[in-house]
Amino acid sequence: MQIPSARKIRTVRSAPMSLEDVTGAAYGPYQLRISPEKVREYAAATGDEPDRWLEHAPPSYAGAQLFVAAPHFLDDPRVRPFTGILVHVDQSFTWHAPLVVGTAVTVTGRVDRVRERSGRFFVTFLAEVETNDGKRLLDSVSTFLMGEASNTPAEDERTEPPVWKRELNDVPLPQPWPGVGQDLPSLSKSASRLDLVKYAAASGDFNPIHFDHDAARGAGLTGIVVHGLMMAAWAMQPIASISARPDPIAHAKLRFRSPLHPAAQATVSASVQDVAEDEVDAQVSVKVRSGDEDLVTGICVARLGG
């Protein structure tokens, strides 16, 4: 992960015996500018439509804003011993306004809840993004599975593909409103090992399991895996494609079910489940799959008009 300034982390006298002791700990506020350069870098790293996101950031840029605060939590001396295993379990975002390029914002994080189960910890981490005058832009709720590093690596070990290798990686294009019960055009997605490094730079998510084979093995994986939030960005792209609004998604709740390895082929599919009576919002189910395996599943609320 990014290494934050030590001056911004509260000094503690001794490390706790349990991660539950950091419940309620707050991180921030941290300053961030939604710069055009970073938005272009993020859109390119996630394979998004480059010409659309010039004046506004794509909704999935919420992941980069989350990782303004999350690295400070993960690098907290009280937390660091429990980051040997670090898995993103699920994620929800709620957007209150468009993410306007050039806006200066503050990001604040807080540990809301910690649950221990068989020596592992499920941590609920909240993040809030506001403009400097106090206007709320984004709420984020993350669940991380954390624990000490595994002493027994997975029995199977993958051979990592060449750094540049990937399969089809479609760029989303504007799509007409399909109507209730209809499917959106699917997207083929894939990431090379180089893509994962570019995404880490664009998003701030430098968890080494996404680029370091030995670190991934130490976390109990067979090899390097794609960022969960990169797959979340893929999942949101077909939904954003059916709305011309600068804030095409109101809410997203996603569950990360299985990892994807670099150079593997994934497919994003989405289906309209329901539409509000005023026809402003639509509920869309989304799924990222590789072969017959679900990688990410979720529900998003698309903003169609208004």
pLDDT at position 151, please? Answer: 64
Residue 239 in tokens: 């939904």
Tens digit of pLDDT for each residue in 200-241?
999 999 999 999 999 898 888 999 999 999 999 999 999 999
pLDDT at position 15, please? Answer: 45
Nearest residue to 288 via CA among 229, 235, 240: 235
pLDDT at position 70, please? Answer: 97
What is the DSSP secondary structure assignment for residue 171, as one 8-state letter? P
Q: Which residues contact 280 (CB under 8 A, 6 or more apart)?
A: 303, 304, 305, 306
pLDDT at position 284, please? Answer: 95
b/e per residue, 266-283, with b = 16+ CB within 10 A? bbbbbbbeebeeeeebbb
Q: Which residues contact 123 (CB under 8 A, 6 or more apart)?
A: 19, 111, 113, 114, 143, 144, 145, 146
pLDDT at position 16, please? Answer: 46
Phi, psi values for residue 211, rounded to 5°: -150, -10
Rounded Cα gap, residues 59 and 240, in angstroms: 8
Regions of the chain short of the pLDDT cut 70:
1-17, 150-155, 277-279, 306
Provide, for the chain, the percentages of residues in helix, strand and coil under a 3-state DSSP scheme, each rounded to the nearest 5: 25, 35, 45
